[in-house]
Homo-oligomer: A and B are copies of this chain.
Amino acid sequence: MTKVAIVGASGYSGEELVRLLLSHPHAELTAVTSRQQAGQTVAQVFPKFASHPRARTLRFVDPNAELLARAAEVVFLALPHGVAAEFAVPLLKLGSRVIDLSADFRLKSAAIYKEFYAHDHPAPDLLAQSVYGLPEVHRAAIRRASLIASPGCYPTSILLPTLPLLRAGLIKPQGIIADSLSGVSGAGRKAELDYLFVECNESVRPYGVPKHRHLSEIEEQLALAAGTEVTIQFTPHLIPVNRGILTTLYLAPTQHFSTAEEATALGARISACYQAAYANEPFVRVLEGKALPDTKNVVGTNVIELAWRLDPRTGRLLVMSAQDNIVKGASGQAVQSFNILCGYPETAGLL
């Protein structure tokens, strides 16, 4: 058993971490923090967890690094960017291992951080030591990490489908387009008019175009795989579901295909590439036959579904992915890294 704590446990990612860690076979949840909810039990704040005995006794406290470092070996940070770094610094000094769900430690360059987040990085010295917590890609580094920067929903939905193809040289690093549809929980539990039920229900809208913040980490990870700089097009949309992200990727194969034979041959290479990358991954499901991803098949799970199609009319490769933005796109992924970090089976508490 490993003692764990959650800082910022009253948001949607924090709530999901509570759910996963309360029933995790190897985690003991010893502290949850939230300034607004301090003094309340977990069961009072989240009635849905009231059946769990621990939820009826564990109380939210004000966040305090020393207390957290004493209470837990691993601390999850479910905080806004900028704020997360303020907690990571003292926690690491005090010897805790930190799994940060914010964007604070996902980039290697403080300059790019500033370009995209419009403020100086609060702890640039830590960027070198942090590990990008995408288990299917950086598993070995996660195992040895003290600071894990767990990626969010958009990057995961784009990187897992593209990285194996890029590394295998099957697609060009130029011209990648990612068109993403996100459920409203992605905006966080924030009292803002834009996210009221009436403003989201029966509404669909793009936002944050053309330069969304998460582009920075997506492009950094793509560049690592491609061995060259990568600039992509990314358009997020808000759709009226609680959970789920559907991303459609428009990719250019390096190999030309126009005849049926060429398409079949290229398809076989793509299939083999995904097979090699993901056949043994418990949380990546490459669909076969006519099936296409549907968020309702992954919501509530840590699974990301992929399907791909070659279009001989346009010469493009389409890849579509679906995941739960709060599980594989946030808290489930963080717990997956926790399992790796602590040497537990990677699926512990996630199936």
Interface centre among A50, A196, A201, A205 (most CB of B within 10 A): A196
Tell me, in angstroms, the Cα distance from A179 to B242 when the chains sit together.
Answer: 22
- A206 is an interface residue with CB less than 8 A from chain B: yes
The answer to whether A206 and B248 have CB atoms under 8 Å apart is: yes
Residues of B close to A310: CB separation below 8 A: 210
What are 29 residue pairs bridging A and B, where the CB atoms are less than 8 Å apart in the complex? A23-B351, A47-B294, A47-B305, A50-B285, A51-B303, A184-B197, A191-B196, A195-B197, A195-B198, A196-B197, A197-B197, A197-B200, A198-B242, A201-B241, A202-B243, A202-B295, A203-B296, A204-B294, A204-B295, A205-B292, A205-B296, A210-B310, A210-B316, A233-B316, A239-B239, A239-B241, A240-B240, A240-B241, A250-B250
- Say yes or no: A198 contacts B185, CB within 8 Å: yes
Q: For the complex, what is the distance from the CA of A202 to the CA of B326, rounded to whole Å?
A: 14
Seed contacts A191-B192, A204-B239, A235-B248; 8 additional CB < 8 Å A-B pairs: A48-B297, A197-B199, A199-B296, A204-B246, A204-B322, A205-B295, A233-B311, A240-B241
Q: Is there contact, CB below 8 Å, between B300 and A231?
A: no
* Contacting residues of chain A (179-238) with chain B, CB-CB under 8 angstroms: 179, 181, 183-185, 189-193, 195-207, 209-211, 231-233, 235, 237
